[in-house]
Structure 1
Amino acid sequence: MFKQVNINKINISIDFLNNGSIMKPWRVISMAYKIITKCPVCSSKLIVTKLKCKKCGTVIENDFELSKFSYLTMEQLNFIEVFIKCRGNIKDVEKELGISYPTVRGKLEDVIASFGYTQIKEKEDNSADVIDKLENGEITAEEALDLLRK
């Protein structure tokens, strides 16, 4: 028999044996609300100003910084979890999430931008253009090597 109770906004699940005794210790399903990180009025970033000990009631008030991860959406956090689980291997992330390589790259760039980092322009692969120019006699072999090294 399974029973769920709500005590002070904390959901507790209890498993009972047929005779009514508790089979497993209490398990907390959800304890608190997810912290909001943006102001509902103006969408600016919020800061934490109060911390409280649940055991003794000690309260500390100050301006506390949140982690950059706190400002990510749930979708971004789930993506990052899969990305880390796959040890950064984009092919494995593709398989795990069932999405294409460009979509994985796009999601990764989105997270990087959310952290406040600027996007790094990838070096264009112009080797095919250089080879075409070499074959057409537009450039010399030496010039082609110089272009490919850049």
Structure 2
Amino acid sequence: MGEKLVAEALPWENREYRIGEAEQCMNWTREILVAACGEHFATLETESPWDGHLLGPEDELLPEHVDSLASDEFGQKVKAIDALQAGDLVFLKNTYGDWAEGVLTHVGIALGDGRYIHRMTSNDGLVKIDSIPTADFDSGIRLKDSLCQTQ
């Protein structure tokens, strides 16, 4: 699965994705997941995200939220940047907004060697390859291969 995700993601480098629209990192990541592994990734979401204990009573879980795929039901949690493999999803915390400390707010796809490709949260909307910021890193997930349906 990891190879498929990276192959779908890399052509996006330096391209715009939904220019002018903020908070599109998960929508871009889902587009990559759908292209690589099937339409079910368009709406797949957990009811018990890793950061669920930090969410308020009014916080609604939706597929466009970063934490919607951050759950043991979808794969193995990766707790260190140097343990990430190409194709793992990378979750960052506290990158924007008025959220509780530790809430997952940004997602991208690991490339290996401490780098990831992601749709930047800024309204510039560019997909970039960057080093994973250690201060914001929360975790990654190595999605179960069984989630990737043959295209």
TM-score clears 0.5: no
Relative contact order (alpha carbons < 8 A, sep ≥ 6): 1 or 2 greater? 2
TM range (shorter): under 0.3
Bigger fraction of residues in strand: 2
| TM-score normalised by structure 1 residue count | 0.21
| TM-score normalised by structure 2 residue count | 0.20
